[in-house]
Structure 1
Amino acid sequence: MAGVNELYPIGDVARRTGLSVSAIRFYADAGVVTPTEHTDGGFRRYDVHAIARLEVVRTLRELGAGLDDIRDVLSSKKTLAELAAAHLELVEQQLRQFGARRAVLRTIVRQHTTTEQVSLMHKLVSMSDDDRDRLITEFWDFVTEGLDIDPGYVERLRNQRPHLPDEPSTEQLEAWIELADLVRDEDFRTAMRDYYHRAFNNEKGRLMATPEMVARAERQRTLYLEARAAQQAGVPADSPQARDIAERTAAARAEMIAAMTGEHDVEKMRRSMVDYDPSKMVEVRAKMTGLPLSVRYLTLVATINGTPRPDPEKAAAVQKWMAAALRR
């Protein structure tokens, strides 16, 4: 085993550290790691401590550290942890940039993208949080302008907005690109505005937007989530638990209808749920002009936010499960 005080020629140092001879000379001339000894013949020799420092230099350079930072670490002006923290932040920033570029490139590959659209995509993924929030706010300002309903409901609509995480996945970035493109599109903005104005600028719509009806709708949503959880957990449709959920759902829906029409008929609601027909629901949705656009917006927002996305097929499965529970 070599002694601590043994000196090694530059060729041996190069083999031990994985650095080239020219790199070792460069670091010596730059004052980063100087030779332990210069011989009369001009040869440079290094002891084991200098070799260890050169190995640190190589590692830090591979991690992207500059010479000034390396000098600070070797001279104890800056701790290794401080340097690592600074470079970790830089690497994470670069990873976010690469993720954004990947999302743009994947979108270009998937679509027939023009040069102008590529520039727009890059701007979209490079937006700050404030810029993204401002874009969505402007969209909802346009959509809800002149909507004559309870202000609280308008605020609920406006709160349906994306929140891109600090480290978004490629899927989230792609969803943001599509959403940002949509809310800037004049046809989409106008169609969404027309949809909400048709749905709410009438007596029935204004009633549905009142705090009382919103509370009833929230009650139904809670029951649906309970039913979905039970159905996905494999609770049999002919079990008492399934029957209880379905009965409470029928009662809540009947109360909603009664608040709208004055007619309270739980048995009629039960029959309606038992006779559930997915194909009829597709027809109903098709007649609701603008609904697919709203669903697309909410689906993209859910993808960006990492929350469950609207899924008509899963919703239909839950309705069938409750229909079966009420038949037993």
Structure 2
Amino acid sequence: MNELYPIGDVARRTGLSVSAIRFYADEGVVAPTGLTEGGFRQYDVQAIARLELVRTLRDLGAGLDDIRRVLAEESTLQELAARHLRLVEDRLRQFRARRAVLRTIVRQQTTTDQVCLMHKLVSMSDDDRDQLISRFWDFVTDGLDVHPGYLDRLRSRRPHLPEEPSTEQLEAWIELAEIVRDEQFRTELRDHFRRAFGTEQGKLMATPEMLARAEQRRLLYLEAQAAHQAGVPADSPQARDIAERMAADSAGFVAAMTGDHDLDKARRSMIGFDRTRSAQTRAKLTGTNLMVRYTTLVATINGTSKPDPDKTAAVQEWMAAALRREGT
């Protein structure tokens, strides 16, 4: 015969209050196993185990109807968990979006209208976000007379907010959505591209051949960056080899643009790199800085590497040191 326990003992064993145990009995979730002569409820170990399961499921947010179906074996625990997991994930997405909006409000002097806009931005569907970015690039590249391949390259730089974005990614999306809607930002970036590609030399920069050269240069820089981060000494043969190949690539790039191939000039330019002067020059390039801002936000949203002027400068100093040592 199974031992029966009074409701007070059951409460201590399960962590439920006596009133909660009575409630579950009255609702037909877990009935008492028996009653004493005085009418007091008693429970056996099986009933106690069911009450412990009820408590766990309630803590996880399950409703009484779902719990009844599980206990009656009309629904499996896995089916209940799958349904509830979907609800929890939806709520998590909503909370992340709300947190991103609230953090932005705290950080900025946000107006009531802006709050409404930010909430709409984080609630956008994938299609709505894609259309917003497409309209931005339609405006920026309108009338830009360059090779179609370059236009495709520009338009491919777009955010892809993951299914479960972090707060940082949502905040980046809010900022990106705001700037691509901003008339001044859009107009200044469009004017920058028109100036940059308004000459024959500018148009040449956007040809497939020059883009291929630019990609080759990017890969060479990544090789230099990896070596620098790995701690390869600037006076090592590996560093000198990378720096020399970068100088040759720079000379070849200039030669393709101007017809003037001067390796020594390219090497001198690399050796003379000055971080402060470079930062000052970069600060004056309004259009370039606008594009860096856009690219940085997209990279944050997509979870990819972001532009880092300080790291870039450190790699350039490393290559300059390699070339100087090679010449001594």
Q: TM-score range by the shorter chain?
A: over 0.9
Give the Cα–Cα distance (whole angstroms) in 2 for the partners of residues 33 and 285 of structure 1: 71
Comparing 211-220 and 293-302, the one that deviates more: 293-302
Partner of 1:144: 141
CA–CA distance in structure 2, aligned partners of residues 276 and 45 of structure 1 = 85
Change (3 A) 1:52 1:287: closer
Q: Distance in 1 between matches of 2:227 and 2:111?
A: 47
SS of residue matched to 1:13: helix
Report the Cα distance in structure 2 between the residues aligned to 1:214 and 1:69, rounded to whole angstroms: 59
Residue 237 of structure 1 aligns with which residue? 234
* Structure 1: gaps (5+ residues): none
Question: What is the identity, as a one-letter code, of the residue corresponding to 1:80?
Answer: L
Deviations 1:154-183 (A, max 9, x none): 011111111122222222211111111111
Alignment pair present for 1:16 and 2:13: yes
Range with bigger deviation, 30-39 or 57-66: 30-39
Question: How is 1:243-322 mapped onto 2 (pairs within 5 angstroms)?
Answer: 243-322=240-319
Separation (CA, whole Å) in 1 of partners of 2:49 and 2:275: 72
| Aligned residue runs from structure 1 range 1-328, under 5 A | 5-39=2-36, 41-328=38-325
1:108 Cα deviation after fit: 1.2
Aligned residues: 325
Larger deviation, residues 121-130 vs 221-230: 121-130
Q: What CA distance in whole angstroms lies between the structure 2 residues aligned with 1:35 and 1:132?
A: 55
TM score, norm. by length of structure 1: 0.94
The Cα of 1:254 is off from its aligned counterpart by 0.9
Q: Secondary structure at the match of 2:103?
A: helix
Give me the TM-score of the superposition, normalised by structure 2: 0.94
Following TM superposition, by how much is the alpha carbon of 1:96 offset from its aligned partner in structure 2, in angstroms? 2.1
What SS does the corresponding residue of 1:45 show, helix, strand or coil? strand
Spell out, residue by residue over 1:75-101, the C-alpha distance to the aligned partner (whole angstroms, 9 max, x if none): 122221222222222222222222222
Output one character per residue of 1:9-49: Cα deviation in whole Å (capped at 9) or x when no partner. 33332232222222222222222111222456443222221
**CA–CA distance in structure 2, aligned partners of residues 62 and 313 of structure 1:** 49
Distance 2:284 2:107 in 1: 31
SS in 1 for 2:163: coil
Shift of 1:211: 0.2
Q: Which structure 2 segments of 5+ residues have no match?
A: none
CA distance in 2, matches of 1:304, 1:258: 37
Cα pair distance change 1:286/1:55, threshold 3 Å: closer
